[in-house]
Amino acid sequence: MNKIKYLAAALVAVAGLGFQQAQASLMFQQYFVTNGPIGNPTQDTQYLINNFGQPSDLVSLFKENNDGTTAGLYGKYFTVTMTTSSLWTVSWNLTGTGFTLDSVLIKDGATRNNQQLYGFYTVSADQAIIGSGTVDFNGTLPFGMNRKISFVEFFGSPITSVPDGGSTVMLLGVALGALGVVRGYLTR
């Protein structure tokens, strides 16, 4: 009977490893100002490519404004919750879209001498399919505190190939090792 318990425990452990999902959190990069708004989603995309080293095939996936209006074809893959006027919680699940999330841009709608305040966030490439995080203007900022987010925009790049990060090989090794151990117990 003990041998069956070991087999069951090994199979549960292997299954548990297989069901884990990586969760991404946004990584704040910097706040910056521009002389006037950057522009529409296409211009925002080109700005990030030119100034922040984003991939040349970067695409604006979705944009949500503080008045609830949206732009972009991939809105159903994002959830935006306006916690306060300067702090929003965002989450995404890009499974099946053919895209990974590369970066997030927020903008403050207020102007001062026609300058616009933006915040730029990135997501690590190995965790860019499913994740969540917060975007905010709560830190030390140009023009003082209490800046309000006027929009959040999500940028991604197409998945060209799906390299195996080693997890499949690891799971196969664990499963084969567990089967070897169980076989050893069963043949004694």
> Is 33 part of any domain?
yes
> Is 151 part of any domain?
yes
Mean pLDDT over 80-104 rounds to 95
Average of per-residue pLDDT values in the chain: 81
> Is 184 part of any domain?
no
Q: Grade residue 165 by pLDDT with cuts at 50, 70 and 90.
A: low
pLDDT in tens, 9-66: 544 444 444 444 444 478 999 989 898 899 999 999 999 999 999 999 999 999 999 9
Q: Grade residue 99 by pLDDT with cuts at 50, 70 and 90.
A: very high
Q: Quickly count: other Cβ atoms within 10 Å of residue 95's Cβ.
A: 9
**CA distances to 72, 77, 94, 100, 114 from 129, in Å:** 18, 10, 5, 5, 36
pLDDT, position 3: 58
> Is 171 part of any domain?
no
Question: Is pLDDT of 162 > 90?
Answer: no
In percent, the amount of the chain with pLDDT more than 70 equals: 71
Q: How many domains does the chain have?
A: 1
User: Two tokens at 122?
Assistant: 């990135």
CB-based contacts of 150, cutoff 8 Å, min separation 6: 65, 66, 107, 108, 109
> Is 15 part of any domain?
no
pLDDT in tens, 115-133: 888 999 999 866 789 999 9
> Is 50 part of any domain?
yes
Nearest residue to 23 via CA among 84, 121, 86, 90: 90
> Which of the residue ranges 92-101, 132-141, 162-171 would you say has the lowest mean pLDDT?
162-171
> Is 186 part of any domain?
no
> Is 187 part of any domain?
no
pLDDT, position 24: 46
Identity of residue 87: L
pLDDT, position 62: 98
pLDDT, position 183: 72
> Which of the residue ranges 44-48, 92-96, 126-130, 183-187 would you say has the lowest mean pLDDT?
183-187
Which pTM value belongs to this model?
0.72
In percent, the amount of the chain with pLDDT more than 90 equals: 52
The parent domain of residue 76 ranges over 22-160
Residue 51 to residue 30: CA distance in whole angstroms: 12
pLDDT, position 141: 60
**CA distances to 14, 159, 186 from 104, in Å:** 35, 18, 54
